[in-house]
Structure 1
Amino acid sequence: MAPDVGSAIKADPKILPTTRVTVMAVVNQKGGVGKTTTAINLGAALAELGHPILLIDLDPQANSTSGLGLNPARARNSIYQLLAGEVAVDEVMVDTGVPKLRLVPSHIDLAGAEIELATLEERETRLRTALGEIPAGVECVIIDCPPSLGLLTLNALTAATSMLIPTQCEYFALEGLSHLLYTHQLVRSRLNPTLEVAGILMTQFDTRTTLSWDVLAEVRRSHPAHVLNTLIPRNVRISEAPSHGKPVIQYDPTSSGAAAYRALAKELLER
């Protein structure tokens, strides 16, 4: 069984140097909170503003890959080969249909990577080492993490300069927030002292329901320093876009979902 973040950190503590580019890990151990949707659409919104973005699909489900219209099974190289040290970043980056947005695709082979990583030297720093070779011109790397706190997520947090936490506007989604922020402190103290919290992003927000407003109020009360002002609405266009292989910003540029992700990009740039 692959170790979780806590056991991996405690087993092999070390301090690493800083990363030369902005690297944001989009992370939440709970599934269905809008993590992949946020990774894709934030990347597209930043690219639309003129910032060259590299999106890394670190999830074995490969939803960021398929959500941008690419077939994970047809990728010549993927994040799996990058973590294994078989290829450099520029050998695995592929173009997407979004100008200035490139992708390191995922593959089903990544499903067994955590077990393999557990046996390797420097198991928690392999992604960070690989990102030391990012081609010039990339301003920001966005990492779509798997819905777990295993070694793949630990690699992302060790490589990142910040972590963005999408959180669905439901009470069950709040249960893991404190543990995730505790993990942030563990990673800072043992592996990556520069790791910051970019923010907690409330997703699937429905202005018509008391539940959404109550959850938002609770998160703001519990974590006042971290909650972003931008709210991602429950919007059918956001849900439809992946089946067309496009971010919502391309699929329906005038939708409320597209507007929200543009607002998120601007808010993060200003922080």
Structure 2
Amino acid sequence: MSSPTAASDREKVVSKLPGWLRQSLKVRAAQHGIEIQTAVEQGIRDWCSLASMPASIDTAGADSFSTFLPPGQWDEFRGIAAERRVSLIQGLAQSVQLWLDTNPAPDVVRPEITRRIVVCNQKGGVGKTAITAGLGEALAEDPNALYSVRVAKALTKALRASETRAGETAPSDDPLDIENLPGPGLQVLLVDFDPQCHLTNQLGATPLPMNGDSLTNHMAGDPKGDLRDLIVSIDEDTFGGRLHLLPACNDAFLLDVRLSAVRAREAALERALASLEGDYDVIIVDCPPSLGLSMDAAAYYGRRRDGERHGQSGALIVVQAEDSSADAYELLTSQIDDLRNDLQIDIDYLGIVVNLYDSRRGYIATSSLQGWVDIKDPRVVGLIGDLKEQKEAVRVKQPLLSYAPKSQQAVAMRALAREVL
């Protein structure tokens, strides 16, 4: 049942476990940030120390399971199992269950102040909506399940590679750069702040009617009901009721005109959404491609509040690796800087997301990416490839992370979520 391994000072143990128990062990170990072998070692040690036998575990359908234990522990375990007249499979299952019982899943870490992420760029077509949706989906994934996540070193590798060569779609798909991690499990509200209703349509929801209530009405001080009544849940089977959407309405085309008559108009979005913040950990605003009053209101909403740490809320800027995005970036940051100075407020930059990237497009793409990397503050926090799954998800009106949860784009969205967190 065991054999020495030259890779470490542990010995390899081969036994069996039921699939459901092995999966629970994988998830819980990841939640606590420890290796599976460490959890099994602790469970066996505690099981061997028990004064009485725990409840029997259903081991029907158990299949092969291997791990590495300190030298001698398996022999000790085997002897105690013989004394207690239980099979090694039953004893191992009881040990694993004992560890699970004594190491419950940690609570989801929730922010004291609702985090507000404003996804923006006055240039259309850069993919703000896709980033808004993907980020929100990644933040709302199940904390009791494991998902493929591209770790930070992969982003660094892709960025460095852009300096030296073209000809390979980034990011790299090296499996060594992937980790399986629990979902953040946050309560997320996506706000479609664009009169074109792209976010609403892409997620399969229905835009609000022009003659009904809307976010625009609430911002203009003319509400027709409770804003909470307009919110819809997105794909409850996948996100467990943690991902919600406030749909857009075409009346937002008139928002700047209506805001011009509102007092303290830069705070209009904050006033409208204030009653919802208690229900959510994160609110993500998909901004229109505009530098008008609506963008002022969005940027103000993302400002750092009293008692809020730097980088908890702010502006997430979506760009592409091409020249026109750089021009739009300058205009946007100038507007935000003017707002900072005029109102004496702090608006943090959460980072730059380079979207729809494909290094096969050659020098323009790779040199532009390097230009974004050289900015340093804000730094590049996401690199999303131009691949087919996002377009397919939009076509079928499904969230990307439920339509293609193992795609490179989904993996990169999860990495972005962890960078922003």
Q: TM-score by structure 1 length? A: 0.86
> Which of 196, 202, 209 matches 1:67?
202
How many angstroms does 1:62 deviate by?
A: 0.6
Take 1:245 and 1:77, find their aligned partners in 2: how far apart are those partners?
A: 24
How many angstroms does 1:154 deviate by?
A: 1.1
Take 1:153 and 1:190, find their aligned partners in 2: how far apart are those partners?
A: 15
Take 1:182 and 1:73, find their aligned partners in 2: how far apart are those partners?
A: 33
Amino acid at match of 2:138: A
- Pairing 1:109–2:251 present: yes
- Pairing 1:58–2:196 present: no
- Pairing 1:79–2:215 present: yes
Take 1:190 and 1:135, find their aligned partners in 2: how far apart are those partners?
A: 26
Take 2:420 and 2:113, find their aligned partners in 1: how far apart are those partners?
A: 18
| 8 Å Cα contact 2:120-2:128 kept in structure 1 | yes
> Which of 341, 362, 365 matches 1:212?
365
How many angstroms does 1:226 deviate by?
A: 1.4
| 8 Å Cα contact 1:56-1:79 kept in structure 2 | no
What are the Cα deviations for residues 77-126 of structure 1, in whole angstroms up to 9, with x where unaligned? 33223323314442332212252111111011111121111122222211
Take 2:206 and 2:188, find their aligned partners in 1: how far apart are those partners?
A: 20
Residue 164 of structure 1 aligns to a residue whose secondary structure is strand
Residue 156 of structure 1 aligns to a residue whose secondary structure is helix
Counterpart in the other structure of 1:159? 301
Take 1:137 and 1:162, find their aligned partners in 2: how far apart are those partners?
A: 19
> Which of 260, 270, 283 matches 1:128?
270
Take 1:52 and 1:175, find their aligned partners in 2: how far apart are those partners?
A: 35
Counterpart in the other structure of 2:121? 28
- Pairing 1:266–2:418 present: yes
Residue 232 of structure 1 aligns to a residue whose secondary structure is strand
| 8 Å Cα contact 1:82-1:88 kept in structure 2 | no
Matches for 1:166-185 after TM superposition, within 5 Å: 166-185=318-337
Structure 1 pair 194–20 and aligned structure 2 pair: CA distance change class (3 A): farther
Instruction: Give the stretch that moved more between structures: 209-218 or 138-147.
Output: 209-218
> Which of 363, 384, 387 matches 1:235?
387
Take 2:341 and 2:366, find their aligned partners in 1: how far apart are those partners?
A: 34
Residue 359 of structure 2 aligns to a residue whose secondary structure is coil
Take 1:227 and 1:111, find their aligned partners in 2: how far apart are those partners?
A: 32
Amino acid at match of 2:259: L
Aligned length: 250
Cα RMSD of the aligned pairs, angstroms, is 1.9
How many angstroms does 1:192 deviate by?
A: 6.4
How many angstroms does 1:159 deviate by?
A: 0.8
Q: TM-score by structure 2 length? A: 0.56
| 8 Å Cα contact 1:58-1:144 kept in structure 2 | yes
Take 1:139 and 1:116, find their aligned partners in 2: how far apart are those partners?
A: 30
Take 2:391 and 2:296, find their aligned partners in 1: how far apart are those partners?
A: 28
Higher RCO by CA contacts (8 Å cutoff, separation 6 or greater): 1
Larger C-alpha radius of gyration, 1 or 2?
A: 2
Identity %: 32
